[in-house]
Amino acid sequence: MDALDLTLLTASLVTFFVVIDPIGVAPIFAGLTEGSSNKHRRTMAIKSVLIATVVLFGFAYLGEWLLNALHISLDAFRAAGGVLLFMIALDMIFEKRTERREERAEAMSDADESIPGTHDDISVFPMAIPMLAGPGAIASVMLFMNEARGSLSSQAMVFAGMGANLLLCLGLFLAIGFIMKVIGTTLAAMITRILGVILAALAAQFIFDGIAGALLGGG
């Protein structure tokens, strides 16, 4: 391992930890899957991390070409993701998601009594995109791959840093169900509302960053 590889490994570990924020997204995953069965929660955890991994690998090699081909800026992607996240946050705060989950769960339980819990598929949106493979992570992997261009060992270091953080997310997602069960239903509902407010703030920040980036880029 040469100096460049070591630098890329360290930088990617730190950068992806900041932009993916495993500690921050784990409670949001818990809030979005609150009331789900353990099996469904495990499925969502694995699917969300796998999908995010595929998306980041894809953007690592094809991201710059794809965005240019579609004439889409990363700032536009960031702002659009923020709007969608804000809608999810409002549902969490006012328990609209809970109402829909309960209605859907009742309908499915009537059809098959062996099906417990709720079955919302949050693996693609919002967990994989934009929570895990968001604009920050996409921009980071594109930047690091540009620096590592032509060197397979350097590219491997970038993916090692990214993969370590995604594995950390997976571990936290798989353990968060037990943690929330220990906390209890009432406290979990309160936490869900608090996380909804935090998610709304995060969504607003995505929108502001997208607008600011577009204005500065246009200026």
In a domain, 147, yes or no: yes
Rounded percentage of the chain residues whose pLDDT exceeds 90? 24
In a domain, 100, yes or no: yes
Spatial distance between the Cα atoms of 96 and 102, rounded to a whole number of angstroms: 10
Spatial distance between the Cα atoms of 147 and 140, rounded to a whole number of angstroms: 11
In a domain, 219, yes or no: no
What pLDDT does 219 receive? 46
DSSP state of 35: T
What pLDDT does 118 receive? 55
Domain that holds residue 138: 3-214
Digit-coded pLDDT (tens) for 134-180: 888 888 898 888 778 778 898 999 999 999 999 999 999 999 877 76
What pLDDT does 60 receive? 92
**What is the mean pLDDT of the segment spanning 33-62?**
91
In a domain, 13, yes or no: yes
Domain count, the chain: 1
Digit-coded pLDDT (tens) for 94-121: 866 556 555 554 554 455 545 445 567 8
Q: Which of 63, 93, 86 is nearest to 201 (CA)?
A: 86
**What is the mean pLDDT of the segment spanning 196-212?**
85
| Residues 196, 93 contacting (CB under 8 angstroms) | yes
| Residues 49, 122 contacting (CB under 8 angstroms) | no
Residue partners of 159: CB distance under 8 A and separation at least 6 = 57, 60
Question: Could you tell me the pTM of the whole model?
Answer: 0.72
In a domain, 98, yes or no: yes
- Cis? peptide before 27, omega within 30° of 0: no
In a domain, 185, yes or no: yes
In a domain, 159, yes or no: yes
Give the SS3 label for residue 10. Answer: helix
Give the SS3 label for residue 170. Answer: helix
Spatial distance between the Cα atoms of 90 and 83, rounded to a whole number of angstroms: 11
Question: Which tokens sit at 22?
Answer: 């495993």
